[in-house]
Structure 1
Amino acid sequence: MESQTIQNLKTRLIQEQERLNKQIEQLEDTGLDDSLADSTSELSRYDNHPADLGSETFERSKDFALRGNERLLLSKVERALEDIAAGTYGYCKKCGNPISEDRLEAIPWAGTCLSCQEEDDRPDPFPRPLEEEILETPFYRTFLDRENEHRESVGFDGEDALQAVLRWGSSDSPQDIPGSHDYKSLYPDSEEHDGIVDPADRIPTQPRSKR
């Protein structure tokens, strides 16, 4: 990217930074950090019906959302200015490829290329609650094994319960399950060793006869 183009984008970023700082300052000057009781000149809200303060509560939440959005955008602008100073501006943070000039002209603070951004914006077809990322046994979803081995539970979990039920049969046949060859492999991870570590553990032990 030409130095003149980078300089023009830097000028736009500085102007955007000044605008955002001014916008945040204006929002905070309206008493955003004051309590709702102070802003409405009410001694207490307990003697009022909740609907009496509906408009005030909505406006307060809207101002909080606007300030949060401006702060988020400001952080992206400041990060772009830091990248210009470091000489890494214009490269995707995910794949490392150059970001097109057209995209930077439209969004000077863009940190990813168009393809990576589209991948991030693509909705998850099977979304799960965010709290599941930090839950541990026995509270997290145990239907499937975890990708990280250190988080897999060796106890009887949801997947083991499903396997125990499906061992007695289901309406599926081997032709319905890819990779299945008989009726004994019609459930997830049917090749797992049940209650043993090695196939040799299935060999019964017999006491050695006395000579």
Structure 2
Amino acid sequence: MNPLTERQVEELKQLLLEERRQLQDHFEREDADGAATASETASTGELSAYDNHPGDLGTETFERERDMAIDERLDGQLEETEAALDRIATGRYGICEICGEPIPFERLEALPAARRCVAHASDTLSEARPPEEDVMTAPPSGAGSGRRANAGRFDDADAWKTLEDYGNASDTVRTDRGANDPALD
């Protein structure tokens, strides 16, 4: 049922093997470096964070979190690559897991680990809601009603226009004290 030729499958397998090698190299280099497992104070070279301003370690914290997110993404990519190689071994490669139709060679050439045809590619997005929603409470009834009740009142959005209508400070002072006040001259 798979319209891919043996040559095409072999070409795609080589792409997958190269991708797997690159991803494994990334993780091996990271393990050898040991930066991911080092404590924050060890990775920065600081003996203590107590004498530093909290913002001093902000960049380091950001960098570590970014690296962790990249590693998580690359780990998922490695799993997808391994799964595609398993599909090649079992003869299920190049078949959409939703409709069972063949995935065109061009799509597989662009995304060798693709599991679905273009028509079902958007089905990969999870409909699951974030776990935080399970513990969040609903807003109280009437939330936002105060905003609607105060519609049209001064909200600082037109502050410059409002101030412009009143003039500047020297105009106000001269009006209040009079034009003959020597302190103003």
Bigger Rg over Cα: 2
Once the 2 structures are TM-superposed, how far is the Cα of residue 63 of structure 1 from its aligned partner? 1.2
Asked if 1:45 corresponds to 2:49, the answer is yes
Indicate the residue corresponding to 2:130 in structure 1: 130
**Distance in 2 between residues matched to 1:111 and 1:74, nearest whole Å:** 14
1:85 to 64, 86, 89: 89
Q: Give TM-score scaled by structure 1 length.
A: 0.56
**Distance in 1 between residues matched to 2:113 and 2:67, nearest whole Å:** 24
Q: Give TM-score scaled by structure 2 length.
A: 0.64
Structure 1, gaps ≥5 residues long: 142-211
Indicate the residue corresponding to 1:34 in structure 2: 38
**Distance in 2 between residues matched to 1:113 and 1:133, nearest whole Å:** 32
Asked if 1:111 corresponds to 2:112, the answer is no
Asked if 1:4 corresponds to 2:7, the answer is yes
Which SS does the other structure have where 1:92 is aligned? coil
* Larger RCO, structure (CA 8 Å, separation 6 or more): 2
Once the 2 structures are TM-superposed, how far is the Cα of residue 89 of structure 1 from its aligned partner? 0.4
Question: What amino acid does structure 1 have at the position aligned with 2:44?
Answer: T
Q: RMSD between aligned alpha carbons?
A: 2.6
Which SS does the other structure have where 1:98 is aligned? coil
1:153-203 deviations in Å (ceiling 9; x for gaps): xxxxxxxxxxxxxxxxxxxxxxxxxxxxxxxxxxxxxxxxxxxxxxxxxxx
Structure 2, gaps ≥5 residues long: 139-185
Identity %: 38
**Distance in 2 between residues matched to 1:133 and 1:56, nearest whole Å:** 30
1:70 to 46, 53, 74: 74
Once the 2 structures are TM-superposed, how far is the Cα of residue 62 of structure 1 from its aligned partner? 1.5
**Distance in 1 between residues matched to 2:78 and 2:132, nearest whole Å:** 30
Asked if 1:100 corresponds to 2:104, the answer is yes
Once the 2 structures are TM-superposed, how far is the Cα of residue 68 of structure 1 from its aligned partner? 1.2
